[in-house]
Amino acid sequence: MNDALAELRPHERKLFGYIARRHGDPSRAEDILQQTLLMVMEQSRKQAIVHPLAYAYRVADSLIYSQARRDRREEGLGEGDYGCDLPLADEVLEHKQRVAVFEAALRRLSPIRREVFVRRHVDGQSRQTIADDLDLNLETVKKHLVRAMAELAGVMDAATGDAAEREGATRER
């Protein structure tokens, strides 16, 4: 029993430094060192420890890890602990409304402009492929894309502005 502890005494400072570095909090390192020595002493009563210093390092690591787990549990429940990765119901509704506005605006585009836009931005086709498939000039495809984006952006901006105005009016009430 005392042999293991006696063998650790010359290495106590080195063990303390190891614990302090691993734990990151020197004020708690002393407590962990004392617990480590106590556990080594208790284990040496039960069985012979061939390499007490190596065993002490393992015990210290185990205590550091268990202390870290305990600290995480004791931090308390903050607002973030109740969080969910799913969007809030009002965010889902707002997204659905924006999608509906976008789809309606997309339907209002001329058929050729809609076709060019969908092929480019939904299907990922190159402008040249679209021009070849629809027998259009490349500049015409570019013109349709620019105008489609402008029209859709205008509709979406207007819808966003209307929603902001409605929300502002609701808050004033």
pLDDT by position in tens, the chain (length 173): 467 778 888 888 888 888 888 877 777 888 888 888 888 888 888 888 888 888 888 988 888 888 877 777 666 555 555 666 787 888 888 889 988 998 999 999 999 999 999 999 999 999 999 999 999 999 999 999 999 999 999 998 888 776 555 555 555 55
51 assigned to some structural domain: yes
Same domain, 49 and 100: no
Show the tokens assigned to 171.
């808050």
Q: What is the pTM of this model?
A: 0.47
- Shared domain for 8 and 71, answered yes or no, is yes
Domain of 107: which CATH number?
Answer: 1.10.10.10
Q: Which of 76, 103, 122 is the last residue of a domain?
A: 76
Enclosing domain of residue 10 = 2-76
